[in-house]
């Protein structure tokens, strides 16, 4: 976490609503654009999610649950908001594939808008090792071996490519949760 982020945290802990509003304005539009591109949500949904995220962030900060971060505030906020988006999409019975996340290749990252690498390959491999074996296989075949969904379905005896896609999506969510635990990100 950089010095600017630390100052934001300290001011918000001290009750500065102005700092919270500044932080909200600083990242909201960036998040809205990203979430519309990655998750095909409406602008209104994206803004609502980000606002909920800021409320959770504020409550975690003021209550003392959030005392330090191992990543930037931007990454922290976007991670919480991303989990909220996934939950929203699951509630709406939509299927979201996170195929554009290149997690297993060396020097990959879960999510960064500003090219900072929050997770190195050792951390990703550690989180991956905590997943069930079938998830490990699917993710390694897709990201490491660069198999397409049809090849994964054939290799793992799945019914078809759509089954492989669904499995990969579920496994990605599990991997993201493990990585979030490792970064001590609070997801409500």
CA quadruple 162, 167, 173, 179: dihedral sign: negative
* Statement to judge: residues 59 and 106 lie in one domain: no
Q: Which two tokens stand for residue 41?
A: 């949500």
* Parent domain of 46: 3-91
Cβ–Cβ under 8 Å, residues 1 and 77 = no
Count of domains forming the chain = 2
> Residue 96: helix, strand or coil by DSSP?
coil
**Residue 138 and residue 69 share a domain:** no
The CATH number of residue 42's host domain is: 1.10.1740.10
- Does 106 lie in the same domain as 83? no
SS3 content of the chain, % helix, strand, coil (to 5): 65, 0, 35
Residues 84 and 104 in one domain: no
The H-assigned helical ranges of the chain are 3-13, 17-39, 43-63, 73-91, 121-129, 133-139, 149-155, 161-182
**Domain boundary residue among 91, 114, 131?**
91
Q: Which two tokens stand for residue 32?
A: 């809205």
Residue 160 is encoded by which pair of tokens?
Answer: 């078809």
DSSP 8-class letter at 141: I
Asked whether residue 85 falls in the same domain as residue 158, the answer is no
Q: How far is CA 173 from CA 60, 93, 135, 148, 154, in A?
A: 23, 15, 10, 19, 23
The reply to whether 104 and 188 lie within a common domain is yes
Give me the CATH number covering residue 121. Answer: 1.10.10.10
Look at residues 57, 91, 125 and tell me which one is the last residue of a structural domain: 91
3 state SS of 92: coil
pLDDT tens string, the chain, 188 residues long: the values are: 688 888 988 898 888 889 889 999 999 999 999 988 887 888 998 999 999 999 888 888 888 887 777 888 898 899 889 888 888 777 654 443 444 344 433 333 334 333 334 556 777 888 889 999 999 999 989 888 888 889 999 999 999 988 888 898 888 888 888 877 776 544 43
Question: Does residue 83 share a domain with residue 33?
Answer: yes
Pick the last residue of a domain from 91, 126, 153: 91
Q: What is the pLDDT of residues 100-125, one digit of tens each?
A: 344 433 333 334 333 334 556 777 88
């Amino acid at each position: 976490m950089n010095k600017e982020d630390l100052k934001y945290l300290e001011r918000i802990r001290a009750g500065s609503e102005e700092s919270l509003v500044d932080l909200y304005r600083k990242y909201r539009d960036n998040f809205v654009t990203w979430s519309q591109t990655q998750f095909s949500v409406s602008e209104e949904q994206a803004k609502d999610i980000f606002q909920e995220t800021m409320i959770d962030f504020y409550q975690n900060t003021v209550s003392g649950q959030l005392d330090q971060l191992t990543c930037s505030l931007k990454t922290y906020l976007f991670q919480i908001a991303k989990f909220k988006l996934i939950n929203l999409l699951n509630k709406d019975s939509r299927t979201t594939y996170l195929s554009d996340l290149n997690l297993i290749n060396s020097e990959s990252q879960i999510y960064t808008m500003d090219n900072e690498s929050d997770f190195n390959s050792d951390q990703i491999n550690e989180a991956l090792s905590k997943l069930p074996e079938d998830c490990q296989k699917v993710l390694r075949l897709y990201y490491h071996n660069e198999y397409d969904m049809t090849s994964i379905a054939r290799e793992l005896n799945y019914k078809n490519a759509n089954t492989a896609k669904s499995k990969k999506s579920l496994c990605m969510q599990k991997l993201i949760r493990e990585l979030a635990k490792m970064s001590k990100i609070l997801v409500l």
